Amino acid sequence: MNVNRLMTDLERKHPGESEYLQAVREVLESIEELYNEHPEFEKAKIIERMVEPDRIITFRVTWVDDKGEIQTNLGYRVQFNSAIGPYKGGIRFHAAVNTSMLKFLGFEQTFKNALTTLPMGGAKGGSDFSPKGKSDAEIMRFCQAFMLELWNNIGPDTDVPAGDVGVGGREIGYMYGMYKKLAREYNTGVLTGKGLTWGGSLIRPEATGFGALYFVEHMLGEAGKSIAGKSVAISGFGNVAWGAAQKATELGAKVIAISGPDGVIYNPNGMTAEKIDYMLELRASNRDIVAPFAERFPDAEFIPGKKAWSVKCDIALPCAFQNELTGEDAAELLANGTWCVAEVSNMGCTPEAIETFIKAGILFAPGKAVNAGGVATSGLEMTQNAQHLSWSAEEVDAKLHYIMSQIHQACVKYGKQADGYINYVKGANIAGFMKVAQAMLEQGVI
């Protein structure tokens, strides 16, 4: 394999798909050396096959808003890779959603799902529908219209969507309701992230954030450090940031920042149960602003226009969107003494930021390892649905804990360098790749 040649070829085939090309390049650079030691991969053209999605379904979603006006959005499902199990991955509703974004997310999901130890292939879907400013009734009508097109392409043994940015329990509920009506099929395993009374799993809402903090604990443990007493800056205030803030606080860390598109909340006294609950209210308001947090809690300060990375912290956790932490932000964090960065959002850091952290020798781990607890717990939800059982919170949490420790171990196994530094990016990419590649080899040319 020659990374530059492969990338030139992909750039020609998929011009302008910058996020997708960025995600592919990162993986190729990590696996190049190992790949070239395995002639069977080259012979089976594994990488040429793995970088292209199995198929992309695109559709029009037309719905009526509260004013009676007709709206049209675009809908997608990218079924990326099914080598190790049925397609699995979230649905994103955001104004910027396009093919490039969902291809990057589906590609990442394939490796992430491989890391979870569970048999799940990779997929992603979504729409350029923006939930911002929409009423509950509009969200419901949109979700129903979206499912009217998607339902025929998914199923508990073929493709299992879940939430992502802009899609939480409420949206999953509306989509599941419509799926049942259309498919005349009542298998709860068709979607994950469901409500607790209709097949959802305890701990699933918290799982991405909880899993991320378990991973961080392992990273710190490996480096002889602990999380108690450390200051943590979190970007975002949605479901992922909420779970991360909750677990970080529980483990004795102080969450001193959360943020939104409007600015950062500097929260020097850390989180309380009330503050953490309020994050959920903020998200549910659909206003996409974080400023009201400081009105509600006067010991916190709202700084407009600033990012979470401007706050001095030990540990930085991007929990919002891809490329939200740039090379410049990385330099600012390092200058302020940050020594651990774990991506909780998918591809939260730009390539320049990652390079800056790795060069500086600080602890850095990529989203596909750190945030895999979300989809892993989706996998546990599928298992419970298939068994028609529900497990206790303790049981799910213990399994999540174990899975995160396995992912951490896999990263260390493939990412430990001769000088002892653990390159978690390399470790996660190689571990995920090896599993998918092996499965593809064994299943022949399909």
Give the residue numbers marked as catalytic: 124
Strand order in the sheet with 363-365: 301-304, 263-266, 254-260, 231-234, 315-317, 340-342, 363-365
Chain residue whose CB lies nearest ligand GLU: 90
Residue whose token pair is 């730009």: 350
Task: Examine residue 89 and tell whether it contacts ligand GLU (CB under 6 A).
Answer: yes
Stretch that binds ligand GLU, among 21-29, 369-377, 387-395, 438-446 (CB under 6 A): 369-377
Task: Examine residue 378 and tell whether it contacts ligand GLU (CB under 6 A).
Answer: yes
Smallest distance from the beta carbon of 208 to ligand GLU, in angstroms?
Answer: 7
Residue 260: C-alpha distances to residues 8, 24, 50, 199 (Å): 36, 28, 35, 32
Smallest distance from the beta carbon of 176 to ligand GLU, in angstroms?
Answer: 14
The encoded tokens of residue 374 equal 């979300």
The encoded tokens of residue 257 equal 């920042």
The H helix count followed by the E strand count for the chain is 17, 12
Other C-beta atoms closer than 10 Å to the C-beta of 304 total 8
For residue 225, give the DSSP letter.
-
Stretch that binds ligand GLU, among 1-9, 303-311, 373-381, 401-409 (CB under 6 A): 373-381
Task: Examine residue 88 and tell whether it contacts ligand GLU (CB under 6 A).
Answer: yes
Smallest distance from the beta carbon of 199 to ligand GLU, in angstroms?
Answer: 14
Task: Examine residue 164 and tell whether it contacts ligand GLU (CB under 6 A).
Answer: yes
Among 90, 166, 168, 200, binds ligand GLU (CB under 6 A): 90
**Beta strands 263-266 and 254-260: pairing type?**
antiparallel
Stretch that binds ligand GLU, among 6-14, 181-189, 278-286, 371-379 (CB under 6 A): 371-379
Smallest distance from the beta carbon of 381 to ligand GLU, in angstroms?
Answer: 8
Among 99, 144, 192, 356, binds ligand GLU (CB under 6 A): 192
For residue 232, give the DSSP letter.
E
Stretch that binds ligand GLU, among 40-48, 67-75, 88-96, 177-185 (CB under 6 A): 88-96
Q: Return the half-sphere exposure (C-beta side, CA atoms, 13 A cut-off) of residue 97.
A: 28
CA dist 384 and 118 (Å) reads 14
Among 211, 374, 415, 432, binds ligand GLU (CB under 6 A): 374
Given the rule CB under 6 A, which residues bind ligand GLU?
88-90, 109, 112, 162, 164, 192, 346, 371, 374-375, 378
